[in-house]
A and B are shown apart, each in its own frame.
Chain A
Amino acid sequence: MSMTMGTHPAHANAHPAAQANAHRGARPLLEVNDLKKHFPIKGGFFGGTTGQVYAVDGVTFHIDKGETLSLVGESGCGKSTVGKALLRLFPPTAGQVVLDGQRIDDLSAGKLRPLRRRIGVVFQDPFSSLNPRMRVKDLLAEPIRNFGLAKNSADLDERVAKLMDTVRLPRDAVNRWPHEFSGGQRQRICIARALAGEPDLIVCDEAVSALDVSVKAQIVNLLQDLQKELGLAMLFISHDLAIVEHMTHRVAVMYLGKIVEIAPRRELFGAPKHPYTEALLSAVPVPEPGAARERIVLTGDVPSPINPPTGCRFHTRCPYAFDRCRSDEPKLQQTTPGQWAACHLHDLPAEKNPLARGVSATLA
């Protein structure tokens, strides 16, 4: 994927590592601080709570204006839960979500509703995320009406038509039903809906995972174009590292409800600073006949989020794990400018640290 679509030089230079910290001066668009979401397990005769699923257990990140942050990880690591919790589709257990300086995690439903305009969302499955009983026109008009953006019905029609242009769909398709569209076209409608409120941030929850490869490329390119045209920030939740490498500015890697590494794209893909990231990257297929990577095959399964391992959550599968990993939980620490990893290896002297290497050294 990444080979065929090429790289976008504009994005490669947009956020070099040196700038990654400069955001501290300006206020980031979205800040998520120590976000937790635990789901109670109901059971027993009286239906009491018998345990907790630690789906998201302390996640912190920020997204700047116009920036793409990708959230990657295996199935079940909590990346979609992060997206849904910050959208307040369910209340977070703990932590803060700050949108442009305003906390949105503790707002009442009524106060939150107008603020939803600023965050659009695109879900994974374009076949279930459009109401089958509504025409495209009504689907697009709904958020405009909800947020009271149109002055009159002519303005509403004009906005709907513009949205169709924005996502490169023919204007006369507004009278059709969702089931008359292909998956890619439906996803364009979903994107148009997400854009209807003129948001600053779009959360793409596996937005291209359900599409076939060529359509996937079109949608990814559309998202990138829209980001440039409209200056959108994006939280791109995905498990597809090839797509992520193609389109993101920064990447956050999640494992079992925690972020284990967060870094600018070039640093993360060039020189991962967490063993889990390293293993994930080694699993990305090389789109070249005969070529292969040296695979790091992890043993065992992902531990249960109901009863996560003590210490570092990755120690049960980590090829480099040592004593301290089993007892001590590592904190995110800056390894190189802009690159943060939660791993005890970085406390070891450099010659004992298998991950201590620069970007250039790994591209063999």
Chain B
Amino acid sequence: MSASSSVVAPAAPPQPARRRGGALRRFARHKLAVFGAGIILFLTLACAIGPYLLPFTDTYIDIMQRFAPPFSGAHVLGTDALGRDMLARLLMAGRISLLVGFSAMAISMVIGITVGIVSGYYGGVLGTVLMRFVDAMLCFPSIFLLLAISALINASVSSIIILIAVTSWMEVARIVEAQIRALRARDFAVAAEALGASDRRVMFRELLPNAIAPIVVAATLNVAHAILAESYISFLGYGIQPPTPSWGNMLDSAQSYLTSAPWLAILPGAAITLAVTSFNFIGDGLRDALDPRMDGR
């Protein structure tokens, strides 16, 4: 180890410059996630433009064709008890359900991340108060809370979104708080502070990106949770009110015909399952894709 007194930079191994879109490549390697993303994209596009392409609207009543089974005539996925086209209703219901899912997720993320990051970063009395509030919120069984509140207010799409959001941000807050508290003590956060970064900068530029993986997973799970929550409020009759269709209230109205017309329950049920599992796969894929250390594996 005869080191010379002149400074020699260690030879950097030649490496190709990293492309932007490395995350996309990593995501693409995750087959199930790509599948899930495809399903969600398909569902979203179908719900957005599908109703314009169909010969029937979701409220058109074809009284001669009640309980038409799928693939048996003009109605591709059959009709319901009033003779309304199931495909048109599914797509319109998908609009509502996906809208509720994404919007409730976005709102609950904003609340959860803000509460989590503030209590994780500052800790102390403020952090304790905020996290005990989270605990208190978690004590309520969210289904009863949802039902109790929705019984009191006028059920509309936006009120359902807000209702679901304010009952589902607590897990996110906990995840973020735990992550930020652990990251807060790491050298790079301390170094950023020593190099003059403001609190807000340390929180949102240094710490939050390092907590992104569990947040993304929580976000996708939250979409799934919101879709489910909307479904069961609507199923119990307090959510989206007919004639506006949602996957939940379609299930609700299918109850009486489970044996005679099972497709009435199977189709919205399959749509819910498909959407929820797809979001979960996407969450998995994003978790790997957003970690630059996964490169080259």
A→B interface (CB under 8 Å): 4-6, 8, 84, 87, 89, 109, 113-114, 116-117, 119-121, 123-125, 128-134, 142-143, 146-147, 168-170, 172-173, 175-177, 179-182, 184-185, 188, 190, 193-194, 196-197, 213-215, 217-218, 221-222, 225
Contact = CB atoms under 8 A, between A and B. Distances in A.
Given A117-B196, A188-B9, 18 more contacts: A5-B5, A125-B187, A132-B210, A133-B209, A142-B195, A142-B197, A168-B7, A185-B10, A185-B12, A196-B195, A214-B1, A215-B10, A217-B3, A218-B3, A218-B8, A218-B10, A221-B3, A225-B7
Interface in B1-36: 1-3, 5-10, 12, 15, 17-18
Nearest to A83: B194
The 3 closest A-B pairs by CB, nearest first: A217-B3, A129-B187, A168-B9
Contacts of B199: 109
Contacts of B195: 116, 120-121, 142-143, 146, 193-194, 196-197
B132 interface: no
Contact of B292 (A8, A169, A177, A218): A177
B12 A146 contact: no
B9 A131 contact: no
Contacts of B209: 131, 133-134
Contacts of B198: 113, 146
B10 A173 contact: no
Contacts of B297: none
A159 to B, nearest CB: 14
Contacts of A120: 195
A4 B3 contact: yes
A217 B8 CA distance: 10
B226 to A, nearest CB: 28
Contacts, number: 115
A87 B187 CA distance: 14
27 contacts: A4-B2, A4-B3, A5-B5, A8-B5, A87-B194, A109-B199, A116-B195, A129-B187, A129-B188, A129-B191, A130-B188, A131-B209, A132-B210, A132-B292, A133-B210, A133-B212, A143-B195, A146-B197, A146-B198, A146-B201, A176-B15, A184-B10, A185-B10, A193-B191, A217-B3, A221-B7, A222-B7
Interface of B: 1-3, 5-10, 12, 15, 17-18, 186-188, 190-199, 201, 205-206, 209-210, 212, 292-293
Nearest to B189: A131
A116 B10 contact: no
Contact of B190 (A89, A177, A188, A194): A89
Contacts of A6: 5
A282 to B, nearest CB: 24
Nearest to A217: B3
Q: Among B2, B8, B188, which residue has the most Cβ atoms of chain A within 10 A? A: B188
B210 A142 contact: no
A123 B190 contact: yes
A121 B196 CA distance: 11
Contacts of A194: 195
B192 A131 contact: yes
A177 B210 contact: no
Contacts of B12: 169-170, 173, 181, 185
A193 B205 CA distance: 16
A180 B190 CA distance: 22
Contacts of A172: 17
B194 A116 contact: yes
Contacts of B194: 87, 89, 116, 119, 121
A215 B194 CA distance: 25
A179 B292 contact: yes
Contacts of B193: 89
Given A129-B188, A132-B292, A177 B5 contact: no
Contact of B192 (A124, A142, A175, A217): A142
Contacts of A130: 188, 191
Contacts of B10: 182, 184-185, 215, 218
Nearest to B2: A4
Contacts of A87: 194
B93 to A, nearest CB: 39
Given A125-B187, A179-B292, A131 B15 contact: no
